């Protein structure tokens, strides 16, 4: 096994003129070859060396997916330094702990927005002496100490490389696979984030295992649009990129990523369920606005796809009549739909991070997209379980892949042994000892089990699995994430937060999907003045109530979780937001924080109130704060008697 910079040099030597990355700039795709990338990395490494970056030192990288930021991470690794990517949408205050924890002196950022954050954070991080920026727009009149354009860094590095021609190659050759390659900070749902330390070996071993599982080659095309700070993006668009040598495409901006997806036509694609939900919602909205003939044709062939498509994807037997109907549907509906979504060339697509709804999962597979699920975490370098092409199911996350062992603790917690396990939590030996046993097993904190086919099923986080106390369901198991995910399977529900542990019933707070519900309201000539007004419409409450009761009916058929049915709900007056502390930067709900912030609403749900006033402080995109207030309705829902399993 080689290190990341060694793999870069290997690609540059063997296939230097092949494309390594593409970046869309001013509407035009610009290509960087492997040789051009290697030269850029050499100049950046030499420039950073001259600036004083030392072996073992941390360097922060903040921004969207950009070739020069990827090159910066490779340059740092070539010097034996450790890149630490942070979320580009994080507020300045959120960067202070990681920067101070890792004693960071160097930051490489994308643009003016990130420069402003670093300058603000530097007031609490005085050691942050060097800030380099990629995009100079808006920065002409900035004159702060240590603020330098990457163009200048590259120029100084080029001059150094010319005078010390063997320096870079010597440093790259010195690197060892057991050196620390990167550090990723966790989302910090319950406190300060923890720095997860990974070596070249742990990251590249899992990248290679995943590539082998899905037969990835250098001919793959990938769209890199998720945050660099998320390890999933790093595995798919960095570790596997260098392991396989395929092409990584960087969108022009987040706003153009859907258009860029269609232009690139990736063969290997990854997105959390939220993205797949958004794409499907946009399709359904367009179909509802289409003419009657198109709507009827779409409905007819989607019924065919639902009946025939999954079996075809899994290599099962399909009758001649159904095969002909599916082929006609592929010509008229499925093919054009895949093309419109940007999935015409997708060979393998993955989703992870949250459970995906069975209907959503089936939809994509039924129209010929090989969508699968995986299981992993930052600490496991992502790849623990993957679904084989012919055995993808909505209710599992796949089978353990090469090198992975799984066992269940007495409390149902999933334990993992893998070559991809973290080296440690940075400066946190106590936390490291809590998750890693002396004999190499990692505590995932997830509860689940292995089914008869050898597939792993996830129930919830171990700490979140609780019990209903009192009432008709006294002692029943309560798994909040399981309930929340079932609610979010509906296109009209964007977010859900469930409570019930230690209480006599289960209640939830919901966010509607503003686009989906707004379109629904417009087609019914239902006027509204904004999110808060729409969320409290009686018609919307009835719509959401039907979704909740459908979930209850489904839960009643689950012998373990029939007691988790929802008794009451409300629709929040604002969307949950990471800037307001309600979500992590990876869009996980911070259930405890939300319970404290919305305590009056929790009280109203459980004391039988039919409405509750709430006033909330919110943070706007420009950094200003304001208040949003509303009187929220609280609705009761129908629950169902548990359905006994057939003998």
- Backbone φ, ψ for residue 583 (5° rounding): -125, 155
pLDDT digits (tens, 9 = 90+) for 276-294: 888 888 888 888 788 888 8
pLDDT of residue 560: 80
What is the token pair recorded at 70?
């990827």
Other C-beta atoms closer than 10 Å to the C-beta of 411 total: 8
- Number of Cβ atoms within 10 Å of the Cβ of 137: 8
Mean pLDDT of the chain: 93
Question: What pLDDT shows up at residue 189?
Answer: 58
pTM of the model: 0.85
Measured distance CA(87)–CA(228) in Å, rounded = 7
Burial of 530 (0-12, 13-18, 19+ CB in 10 A): exposed
Q: Give SS3 for 182.
A: strand
Q: What angle do CA 190, 191, 192 make, to 5 degrees?
A: 140
Which segments of 79-131 does DSSP mark as H helices, in order? 92-101, 112-121
- DSSP H or E run through 508: strand 506-512
Which residue in this structure is represented by tokens 């000892």?
433
SS3 140: coil
Listed residue (133, 60, 44, 45) closest to 103, CA to CA:
60
Confidence of residue 498 (pLDDT cuts 50, 70, 90): very high
Please tell me which of 198-202, 511-515, 628-632 the model is most confident about, judged by mean pLDDT: 198-202
Is residue 98 within 8 A of residue 86, CB to CB? The reply is yes
Does the pLDDT of residue 99 top 60, yes or no? Answer: yes
Enumerate the domain spans of the chain.
4-270, 465-636
pLDDT above 70 for 622:
no
pLDDT at 458 over 70: yes
Q: Phi then psi for 414, rounded to 5 degrees?
A: -80, 130
Model confidence band, residue 406 (pLDDT cutoffs 50, 70, 90)? very high
pLDDT at residue 111 above 80?
yes
Looking at residue 352, its pLDDT comes to 87
When pLDDT is averaged across residues 519-532 and rounded to a whole number, the result is 93
- β-bridge mates for residue 131, sequence order: 107, 147
pLDDT at res. 190: 61
CA distance 415 to 440: 10
Query: For the chain, what percent of residues have pLDDT higher than 70?
Result: 98
Count CA atoms within 13 Å of residue 467 on its CB side: 5
Share of the chain above pLDDT 90, in %: 76
Answer whether residue 646 shows pLDDT above 50. Answer: no
At 349-379, the pLDDT tens digits run 999 877 787 878 989 999 999 999 999 999 9
Q: Using one digit for the tens of pLDDT, what is the confidence trace for 38-63?
A: 999 999 999 999 999 999 999 999 99
Instruction: Tell me whether the CATH fold assigned to 4-270 matches the one assigned to 465-636.
Output: no
Stretch (H or E) spanning 425: strand 424-425
Q: What is the three-class DSSP state of 620?
A: coil
- Give the pLDDT of residue 93: 92
Per-residue pLDDT of 234-268, as tens digits, reads 999 999 999 999 999 999 998 899 899 999 999 99
Per-residue model confidence (pLDDT) at position 261: 94
Question: Is residue 647 over pLDDT 50?
Answer: no
- For the stretch 240-254, what's the b/e string if a residue is b when 16 or more beta carbons lie within 10 angstroms of its beta carbon? bbbbbbbbbbbbbee
Looking at domain 4-270, its CATH architecture is 3-Layer(aba) Sandwich (3.40)
pLDDT (average), residues 486-511? 93
Cβ neighbors of 581 (< 8 A, separation 6 or more) are 590, 593, 597
Domain 465-636 CATH (choose: 1.10.510.10, 3.30.420.40, 2.60.120.470, 3.30.300.30):
3.30.300.30
Instruction: Give per-residue pLDDT as tens, 141-196.
Output: 999 999 999 999 999 999 999 999 999 999 999 999 999 999 999 876 567 899 99
Beta carbons of 273 and 356 less than 8 angstroms apart: yes
Average of pLDDT values for 415-420? 97
Are 604 and 635 in contact by the 8 Å Cβ rule? The answer is: no
Cα(603)–Cα(545) distance, integer angstroms: 20
C-alpha dist (Å) from residue 292 to 296, 298, 299: 6, 10, 10
Do the strands 456-461 and 442-450 form a parallel or antiparallel pair, or are they unpaired? antiparallel
Ordered strands of the 371-375 beta sheet: 268-270, 348-351, 371-375, 385-386, 399-400
For residue 463, the model assigns a pLDDT of: 85
Q: Which residues pair with 443 in a beta bridge?
A: 415
40: part of which helix (H) or strand (E)?
Answer: helix 34-51
Average pLDDT over residues 612-616: 94
End-to-end CA distance of the chain: 54
Q: Is the pLDDT of residue 619 over 60?
A: yes
Among candidates 444, 431, 498, which has minimal Cα distance to 466?
Answer: 498
């Amino acid at each position: 096994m080689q290190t990341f910079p060694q793999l870069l040099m290997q690609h540059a030597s063997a296939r230097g003129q092949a494309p390594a990355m593409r970046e869309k700039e001013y509407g035009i795709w610009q290509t960087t070859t492997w040789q051009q990338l290697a030269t850029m990395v050499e100049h950046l490494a030499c420039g950073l060396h001259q600036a004083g970056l030392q072996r073992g030192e941390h360097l922060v990288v903040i921004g969207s997916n950009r070739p020069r930021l990827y090159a910066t991470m490779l340059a740092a690794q070539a010097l034996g330094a450790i890149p630490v990517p942070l979320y580009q949408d994080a507020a300045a205050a959120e960067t202070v702990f990681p920067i101070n924890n890792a004693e960071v002196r160097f930051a490489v950022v994308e643009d003016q927005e990130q420069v402003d954050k670093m300058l603000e954070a530097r007031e609490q991080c005085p050691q942050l002496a060097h800030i380099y920026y990629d995009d100079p727009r808006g920065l002409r009149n900035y004159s702060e100490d240590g603020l330098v354009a990457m163009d200048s860094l590259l120029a100084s590095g080029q001059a150094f490389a010319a005078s010390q021609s063997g320096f870079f190659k010597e440093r790259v050759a010195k690197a060892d696979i057991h050196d620390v390659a990167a550090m990723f900070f966790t989302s910090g749902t319950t406190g300060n984030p923890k720095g997860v330390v990974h070596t070249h070996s742990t990251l590249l071993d899992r990248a290679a295992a995943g590539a082998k599982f899905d037969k990835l080659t250098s001919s793959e095309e990938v769209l890199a649009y998720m945050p660099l700070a998320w390890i999933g993006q790093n595995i798919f668009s960095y570790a596997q990129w260098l392991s396989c040598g395929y092409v990584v495409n960087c969108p022009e901006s987040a706003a153009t990523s859907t258009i860029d997806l269609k232009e690139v036509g990736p063969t290997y694609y990854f997105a959390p369920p939220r993205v797949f939900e958004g794409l499907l919602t946009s399709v359904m909205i367009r179909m509802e606005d289409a003419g009657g003939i198109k709507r009827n044709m779409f409905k007819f062939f989607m019924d065919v796809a639902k009946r025939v498509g999954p079996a075809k994807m899994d290599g099962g037997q399909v009758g001649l009549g159904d095969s002909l109907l599916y082929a006609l549907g592929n010509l008229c509906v499925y093919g054009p739909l895949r093309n419109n979504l940007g999935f015409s060339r997708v060979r393998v697509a993955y989703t992870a991070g949250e459970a995906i709804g069975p209907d959503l999962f089936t939809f994509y597979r039924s129209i010929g997209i090989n969508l699968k699920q995986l299981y992993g975490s930052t600490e496991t370098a992502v790849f623990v379980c993957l679904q084989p092409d012919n055995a993808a199911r909505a209710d599992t996350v796949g089978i353990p892949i090469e090198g992975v062992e799984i066992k269940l603790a007495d409390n149902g917690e999933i334990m993992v042994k893998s070559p991809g396990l973290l080296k440690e939590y940075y400066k946190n030996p106590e936390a490291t000892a809590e998750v890693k046993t002396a004999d190499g097993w990692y505590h995932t904190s997830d509860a689940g089990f292995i089914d008869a086919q050898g597939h792993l099923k996830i129930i919830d986080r171990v700490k979140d699995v609780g019990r209903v106390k009192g009432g008709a369901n006294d002692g029943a198991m309560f798994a909040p994430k399981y309930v929340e995910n079932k609610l979010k399977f509906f296109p009209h529900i964007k977010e859900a937060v469930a409570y019930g542990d230690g209480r006599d019933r289960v209640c939830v707070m919901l966010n509607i999907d503003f686009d989906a519900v707004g379109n629904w309201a417009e087609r019914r000539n239902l006027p509204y003045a904004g999110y808060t007004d729409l969320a409290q419409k009686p018609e919307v409450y009835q719509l959401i109530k039907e979704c909740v009761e459908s979930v209850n009916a489904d839960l009643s058929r689950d012998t373990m979780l029939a007691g988790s049915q929802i008794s009451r709900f409300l629709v929040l007056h604002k969307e949950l937001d990471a800037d307001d502390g309600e979500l992590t930067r990876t869009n996980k709900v911070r259930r405890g924080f939300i319970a404290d912030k919305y305590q009056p609403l929790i009280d109203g749900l459980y004391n039988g109130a039919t409405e509750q006033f709430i006033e909330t402080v919110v943070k706007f995109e420009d950094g200003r704060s304001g208040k949003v207030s509303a009187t929220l309705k609280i609705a009761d829902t129908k629950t169902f008697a548990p359905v006994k399993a057939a003998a």
